Structure 1
């Protein structure tokens, strides 16, 4: 059943639409119609625990869509919310939220669907920095956000369950958009997905997934992590989680565990990971417990392989990163200014590509301090080079890609954070004072921050509308990139020394130690 509009939007009204599941009543906020907490899939509990998402059922009457649905069960490592939802609320875990400046089928506005990050372990669409009101109002687009399963529930490789359930939730949310967004004034043929960190990794995965083909026309991948797991590594990590509970890593066994408790078991495993690098390799050294699994079915290959082979050549792509991706982690771990030469040497040994990667870093960055070398190789391995390589793979596969780097220094904490991981999120959404952005931007955002945010919002919405963000496409000869700073410029990709060091790296799926299958 397709969705239809229930009536026009007028000042002071409570906007209503009729979605495929039934009628919805939202709210009017600063001229934008907002609908929150709409179920797109049945709760993955009971007989649906660890199953692929099942479309949500219908409801009678007019359903209020005024409040966000509760977050999926998760750890609270960021200290930003409950570790899990209460049992009474589990029926609405998997929900979407919609902001529309014109909830009328005749509007046919471009649609932007946001996928949050959080290491595939934490995150929720209700965080204030993800409010889509300003982006929708200023950009003339319909904005959609949603929750998807995380941690063991969403990404653990367990017997008796499909892999990559969190990615399958994302596909289900995009299918909901295809079937329903017309009633909210959106054009289902003009959908752009965008996400940052694990959300950027999800965007990259969706580009490579046959199940997602045709569900979006454009994609924006911000700070793409280079971590995708082999089934063997993912299964071994899942077994370690199950062992914490004295259980087998099977859907049958783990379904007996309360989701709130299960969400916390990963914390114990994560704490021991660095000591188990002999088995889990780089994933252990960075305490990365969950990532999409290159299982050969849901995710047939890594995104770089898929794009280079032309899997997404018909999808326009923006890919990019911040300059100081790792600075946020260096600050939070108390290592800023404290990295020793031995620690820098170890980081280069563990994460630089190839047998001579460490030497090439020291040659290319001859004047770099231990702190600088440590941050460079971690930034490159985890986010910068995977993002660059995604754009390069898209072009190699016959598609079009645009590259960017955010180099503007965040004023928060006296500028110590630099152009850190996550800085792009409040700038893109325009929410400069809500939630966590105050830590990055200060209590009173400057005129410079406001202007940069407007430029980035304009570029993102122009891309969603016309397929062109306002700078030239990337090509392997000129390698032009948009540099977002106080004075934005278009120039050759600024991180060329790192580009050359990593140019032959292929970002394979991470494996168990000694396992090359």
Structure 2
């Protein structure tokens, strides 16, 4: 492999050629969030003069995996400069410029996950003329706990800082700063919805994709204050940067465990308590209200959808499906319904292909769609998550629709935008199709709409 050097606004970076382009890994978009910056808004990185070696993934905010066994392989990379991003760009030898850009925000419940997963490799997107950027951000307590002496939603501020870096620098990598689509899955999908409702993110992207997106409910400032009080009551540690910023990573994680430990008092709170919330400033109002009843995101084309059995592997039988519908399918459908009623460009899908892997047999489970989206069926861990020989034709179809949406703001003629008259929904399976109102039972049960 040969090397490429590109000059960013903060200094030159050296990448490494792949089969379809060049990848630049671990580029800092903000200073390391340590010491006084640990709970502060992100600060632009110090400029550097020497060429930065960007051929290995940078440090991750994730200091331990979400669980002992995770569906997506997401490594923990030690180091302080966790506010970094990766750029996968098509081969510049072809003279391509002004390419569409996909900015990817990883999931992990806002407490785990990273951008260094082999499932997020941009090779296939590069092959098809798309620049891919994946970013890391502060997680858990450091990213989302309301602390009295620091800005709220520090993880959201990180996303915005990364998007501003993209706007300023992506042209040097062959991308068009006016053709940015922001996308993510699970917590990353919730991040996308949050950014749609955040005025400071306006103008930083032109389209959005929320895959299996989850947002905290309720999410007003009163609830954030309740979580902080609960944190202090459970841990004995004040929810302040002064009390927290000098603690070790292990001590922070121990406090996080204490916050989420089972108990009747914890059961009274939602599943997500360390997540973006409406602080009244950066995020003026709760995201669901802003997107469904308000004017947020009206000028942004949106692709949104879920897998059929998101959390059915977590809770079996009817309970699992109810959890899937409550957290994922019904909120996505409510947003599609609202946007369609206002003629806002929206495309709804359901990923219906079921895995054959023993742990997920017969389920279109949480994360099952990602290897198809990225067209990486041979990536590490895919066989354990999906089973042997997942259908390449489905990866071709899903990935092609994403590329078309990122490039043209439309996934193609076979998938019309969602309307309240026909409720067109793309069903992704071995033989994919567009169905009319396939989620009617979900709509009638959860949204109270029988029409």
Same fold (TM over 0.5): yes
User: What's the counterpart of residue 459 of structure 1?
Assistant: 401
- TM superposition shift of 1:254: 1.1
Larger mean CA deviation between 490-499 and 68-77 belongs to 68-77
Asked if 1:35 is matched to 2:24, the reply is yes
- TM superposition shift of 1:502: 2.0
Match of 1:126 among 101, 106, 116: 116
Once the two structures are superposed, the pairs formed by residues 176-325 of structure 1 within 5 Å of their partners are 176-228=165-217, 229-243=219-233, 245-273=235-263, 275-276=264-265, 279-280=268-269, 283=270, 287-308=271-292, 309-325=294-310
| Preserved CA contact (<8 Å) 1:73 1:263 | no
What is the TM-score when the length of structure 2 is the normalising length? 0.92
User: What's the counterpart of residue 330 of structure 2?
Assistant: 385
CA distance in 1, matches of 2:76, 2:23: 25
- TM superposition shift of 1:32: 1.3
Cα distance per residue 1:216-249 (max 9 Å; x no partner): 0010001122424222322332344345553211
Q: Which runs of 5+ in 2 are unaligned?
A: none
User: What's the counterpart of residue 428 of structure 1?
Assistant: 373
Larger mean CA deviation between 177-186 and 496-505 belongs to 496-505
Larger mean CA deviation between 413-422 and 116-125 belongs to 413-422
Q: Report the 3-state secondary structure (helix = DSSP H, G, I; strand = E; otherwise coil) of the residue aligned with 2:165.
A: helix
CA RMSD of aligned residues (A): 2.1
CA distance in 1, matches of 2:369, 2:188: 13
Once the two structures are superposed, the pairs formed by residues 166-185 of structure 1 within 5 Å of their partners are 166-185=155-174
Higher helix share: 1
Q: Which runs of 5+ in 1 are unaligned?
A: 1-11, 331-335, 337-370, 506-517
Cα 1:78/1:306, change in 2 over 3 Å: same
Larger mean CA deviation between 236-245 and 474-483 belongs to 236-245
- TM superposition shift of 1:279: 4.3
| Preserved CA contact (<8 Å) 2:65 2:113 | no
User: What's the counterpart of residue 47 of structure 1?
Assistant: 36
| Preserved CA contact (<8 Å) 1:325 1:421 | yes
Cα 1:85/1:463, change in 2 over 3 Å: closer
Once the two structures are superposed, the pairs formed by residues 299-448 of structure 1 within 5 Å of their partners are 299-308=283-292, 309-330=294-315, 336=316, 371=317, 373-413=318-358, 416-442=361-387, 444-446=388-390
**Which entry has the higher C-alpha Rg, 1 or 2?**
1
Match of 2:442 among 473, 494, 498: 498
Q: Which has the higher contact order (CA 8 A, sep 6+)?
A: 1
Q: Report the 3-state secondary structure (helix = DSSP H, G, I; strand = E; otherwise coil) of the residue aligned with 1:114.
A: strand
- TM superposition shift of 1:73: 4.3
Q: Report the 3-state secondary structure (helix = DSSP H, G, I; strand = E; otherwise coil) of the residue aligned with 1:403.
A: strand
What is the TM-score when the length of structure 1 is the normalising length? 0.81
User: What's the counterpart of residue 54 of structure 2?
Assistant: 65
| Preserved CA contact (<8 Å) 1:479 1:492 | yes
Q: Report the 3-state secondary structure (helix = DSSP H, G, I; strand = E; otherwise coil) of the residue aligned with 2:305.
A: strand
User: What's the counterpart of residue 137 of structure 2?
Assistant: 148
Larger mean CA deviation between 199-208 and 243-252 belongs to 243-252
- TM superposition shift of 1:168: 0.9
User: What's the counterpart of residue 97 of structure 1?
Assistant: 86
| Preserved CA contact (<8 Å) 2:313 2:320 | no
Q: Report the 3-state secondary structure (helix = DSSP H, G, I; strand = E; otherwise coil) of the residue aligned with 1:220.
A: strand
User: What's the counterpart of residue 345 of structure 1?
Assistant: none
| Preserved CA contact (<8 Å) 1:224 1:384 | no
User: What's the counterpart of residue 117 of structure 1?
Assistant: 107
- TM superposition shift of 1:397: 4.5
Counting matched residue pairs gives 441
CA distance in 2, matches of 1:395, 1:95: 36
- TM superposition shift of 1:44: 1.3
Q: Report the 3-state secondary structure (helix = DSSP H, G, I; strand = E; otherwise coil) of the residue aligned with 2:322.
A: helix
CA distance in 1, matches of 2:384, 2:267: 37
CA distance in 2, matches of 1:463, 1:69: 29
CA distance in 1, matches of 2:319, 2:159: 34
Cα 1:84/1:486, change in 2 over 3 Å: closer
